[in-house]
Amino acid sequence: MSVRRYNAIFLSPHLDDAVLSAGNQLQLYTEQGKAVLVVTIFTKGSESRHPAAVSFLRQSGYSHANQLFAHRKKEDIAALRLLGADHLHLPYIDAGFRTEHPTTEHIFKSSSTQSDRQLVTSIHLRLSKIMTQYAADDCHVFGPLAVGNHIDHEIVYEAARKTWDPSQHWQLSFWEDVPYRHRTGETCTRLAQVSTTIQGMRRETVFTRSSKLKQAAIFCYSSQFSGLINRGGYCQTYDNQIESYWHA
């Protein structure tokens, strides 16, 4: 049996990031009849009772991580089905449930640990196999720029960069992460951090007049509404219509 080859692959750190930050771009591909795969990296929790884990469970309305992530996977499948994309959920543990990131401050402000760097290598090797198996010759890969400095977003950014092989003729682009890109100074801070990496890359802002399908897809992630509102900067109309990318 032949394996389906994808014209676009979106590397989503968590079970909502690709739709929040790049849902319109994803929809553009599927509307053109192109095959799209969303690979979500961090789709598991643990029994950690560190403050970050407890807080995340509470705001999501769950007391156990396995129940929350099982529900979040269902939300993600429903959202991607609306947009016409396939899904692949990798079994890596969310930062809030890893012992080296016990608080929210650790997740957003700490420098990467040895364990984080090992994750970059592990995810890079996994993505290399996925690209070999699923990427079409002209595949366009999208991932997070890691605006906001969430450690999971930074890990996926680094893994995507390591995986990119221009000789294979596939293109790499990074989206500016929602909701963090709406915080004053966050995008500029991240661009300064990766200035040598993105040198020569082209920035594109995509404006879509009609975004009802993306809006409907976002509404599938009901367990995350409280967190999106609490983190601030989420503007329903703006986020649905405007997306920004950096193209290698």
Residue 237's identity, in one-letter code, is T
Residues in the chain: 248
pLDDT value of residue 163? 95
Residue range 58-117, pLDDT digits in tens: 989 899 999 999 999 999 999 999 999 999 999 999 999 998 888 888 899 767 889 999
Q: How far is C-alpha 75 from the geometric centre of its chain's CA atoms?
A: 15
pTM over 0.75: yes
- Residue 199, phi then psi, degrees to nearest 5: -55, 125
User: In the prediction, which pLDDT does 2 show?
Assistant: 62
When mean pLDDT is compared across 105-114, 162-171, 231-240, the lowest value belongs to 231-240
- HEC string of the chain equals CCCCCEEEEEEECCCCHHHHHHHHHHHHHHHCCCCEEEEEEEEECCCCCCHHHHHHHHHHCCCCHHHHHHHHHHHHHHHHHHHCCEEEEEEEECHHHCCCCCCHHHHHHCCCCHHHHHHHHHHHHHHHHHHHHHEEEEEEEEEECCCCCCHHHHHHHHHHHHHCCHHHCCEEEEECCCCHHHCCCHHHHHHHHCHHHHCCCEEEEEECCCCHHHHHHHHCCHHHHHHHHHHCCCCHHHHHHEEEEEEC
What's the Rg (C-alpha) of the chain?
Answer: 17
Residue 162: pLDDT band with limits 50, 70, 90: very high
Q: Which amino acid is at 117?
A: R
Evaluate the omega torsion of the peptide bond into residue 144 and state whether it is cis, within 30 degrees of 0.
no
Mean residue pLDDT across the chain: 90
210 — pLDDT class (breaks 50, 70, 90): low
